[in-house]
């Protein structure tokens, strides 16, 4: 079948997880992606855990679907070589900050002066007082307010796991690049620069809480503790999230748990009343839930259209029947990994190849 970006030529000179994820998204849409790796290889190749052959499992996921060549920014001819390598590119994906472009001796605007889309994916953007500073998932989560919103009030703020900042920023960058490509086609061949900050991406994700703070005059507090109204809570073989926001959710869930008196008492039909008086029932409901296996409880509640869900472990996700039936998992070079989170009927997303072998110096000439 056709690929949506089959004619797009992408040069990825980024060394960040955000940049790697962005170009992987583009490769999945059919773009021809060549990543220019430093002589030591892309940093993702050195990220644990490793398989039996000593290859990085995260690297195999983030770098799949691409070709590889070596590019040394410290080489004397680095600027000339980069201009030559990107001369016929439709898109350049970069994690270089402004001062790094200057040290390289290349004006990024020069690349966009032709028809290239130059996407800068950096921690803090290409402008502003933090533009030159390094960062990682922890610092971006802290500065963006993400950490302040997650976790319990009595404990330290949480940090994202599994490159969540990279996934958010990289996905937004791929969308912005696609929009810029459409604009270039509409305008007849003009390129442009895309400046995407990881911090901006994460602050945008917290927008509802930022807006709430503006109107209430106070920050959204982290939760005081965990009960069935905030969840997930323990069950016999793990944890379970139960939604009781509507009257019929409450009634049906209480009947399933064998708490008929709570189900039929009209006082509990109003959501505000349940929240105001939750101390009267949360421990009792929690005890009833601990008698259930999470899959059994989910089946009973789902049959009654109650919104609920078991907390699945990573091992359980691999065996999940719903994901299997949707064809979510894909096999790439023997590695079973998550596929696209969407379905396209005419131009499906796919990865024809896994992580390329590290390129030799000669392959980059």
- Ordered per-residue pLDDT tens for the chain, 365 residues: 678 999 999 999 999 999 999 999 999 999 999 999 999 999 999 999 999 899 999 999 999 999 999 999 999 999 999 999 888 899 999 999 999 999 999 998 888 777 899 999 999 999 999 999 999 999 999 999 888 888 888 888 888 888 999 999 999 999 999 999 999 988 777 789 999 999 999 999 877 777 777 777 777 777 777 888 888 999 999 999 998 888 999 999 999 999 999 999 999 989 999 989 999 999 999 999 999 999 999 999 999 999 999 999 988 998 899 999 999 998 887 778 898 889 998 998 888 788 898 876 544 43
Residue pair 153/144 in contact (Cβ under 8 Å)? The answer is: no
Could you report how far apart the first and last alpha carbons of the chain are, in Å?
33
**Phi, psi (rounded to 5 degrees) for 104:** -70, -25
At how many degrees (to 10) do helices 17-28 and 164-187 cross?
50
How open is the CA angle 190-193-196, to the nearest 5 degrees? Answer: 145
Residue pair 121/196 in contact (Cβ under 8 Å)? The answer is: yes
pLDDT score for 228: 87
Q: Encoding tokens for residue 286?
A: 């929690």
Q: Provide long-range contacts, Cβ within 8 A and 24+ apart, for 292-300.
A: 292/235, 292/236, 292/240, 292/257, 293/235, 293/236, 293/237, 294/235, 294/236, 294/237, 294/238, 294/239, 294/240, 297/235, 297/240, 297/256, 298/240, 300/256
Strands (E), 95-191: 117-122
Strands 233-235 and 238-242: antiparallel
Across the chain, which distance is largest between two alpha carbons, in Å?
A: 79
How deeply is 284 buried, as exposed, middle or buried, from its count of CB atoms within 10 A (0-12, 13-18, 19+)?
A: middle
Strands (E), the chain: 9-12, 32-37, 67-70, 91-94, 117-122, 192-197, 233-235, 238-242, 308-310, 329-332, 335-338
Q: How far apart are CA 202 and CA 193, in angstroms?
A: 21
Strand order from edge to edge, sheet including 308-310: 233-235, 238-242, 308-310
212: Cα separation from own chain's centroid: 24
Residue pair 130/124 in contact (Cβ under 8 Å)? The answer is: yes
Q: How far apart are CA 33 and CA 42, in angstroms?
A: 14
Which residues does residue 223 pair with via DSSP β-bridges, in sequence order?
152
Give which of 303, 335, 301, 298 is closest to 318, Cα–Cα. 335
Strand order from edge to edge, sheet including 117-122: 67-70, 32-37, 9-12, 91-94, 117-122, 192-197
Task: Output the CA torsion sign for 136, 139, 142, 144.
Answer: negative
């Amino acid at each position: 079948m056709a690929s949506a970006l089959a004619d797009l030529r992408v040069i990825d000179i980024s060394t960040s997880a955000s940049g790697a994820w962005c170009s992987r998204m583009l490769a999945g849409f059919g773009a021809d992606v060549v990543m220019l790796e430093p002589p030591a290889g892309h940093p993702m190749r050195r990220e644990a855990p490793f398989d039996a052959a000593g290859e990085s499992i995260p690297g195999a996921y983030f770098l799949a679907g691409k070709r590889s060549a070596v590019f040394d920014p410290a080489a004397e001819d680095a600027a000339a070589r980069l201009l030559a390598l990107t001369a016929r590119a439709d898109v350049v994906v970069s994690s270089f900050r402004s001062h790094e472009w200057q040290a390289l001796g290349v004006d990024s605007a020069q690349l966009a002066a032709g028809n290239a889309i130059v996407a800068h994916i950096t921690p803090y953007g290409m402008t502003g007082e933090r533009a030159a500073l390094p960062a990682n998932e922890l610092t971006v989560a802290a500065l963006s307010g993400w950490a302040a919103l997650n976790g319990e009030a009595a404990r330290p703020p949480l940090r994202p796991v599994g490159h969540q900042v990279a996934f958010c920023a990289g996905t937004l960058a791929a969308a912005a690049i696609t929009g810029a490509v459409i604009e270039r086609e509409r305008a007849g061949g003009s390129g442009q620069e895309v400046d995407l900050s990881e911090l901006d991406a994460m602050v945008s994700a917290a927008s509802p809480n930022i807006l709430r703070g503006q109107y209430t005059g106070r920050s959204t507090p982290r939760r005081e503790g965990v009960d069935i109204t905030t969840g997930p809570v323990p069950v016999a073989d793990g944890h379970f999230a139960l939604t009781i926001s509507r009257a019929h959710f409450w009634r049906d869930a209480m009947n399933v748990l064998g708490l008929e008196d709570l189900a039929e008492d009209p006082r509990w039909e109003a959501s505000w009343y349940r929240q105001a008086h939750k101390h009267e029932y949360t421990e009792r409901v929690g005890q009833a839930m601990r008698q259930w296996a999470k899959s059994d409880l989910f089946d009973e509640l789902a049959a009654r259209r109650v919104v609920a869900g078991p907390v699945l472990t990573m091992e359980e996700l691999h065996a999940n029947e719903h994901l299997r039936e949707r064809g979510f998992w894909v096999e790439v070079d023997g590695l079973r990994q998550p596929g696209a989170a969407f379905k396209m009927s005419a131009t499906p997303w796919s990865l024809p190849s896994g992580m390329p072998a590290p390129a030799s110096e000669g392959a980059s000439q």
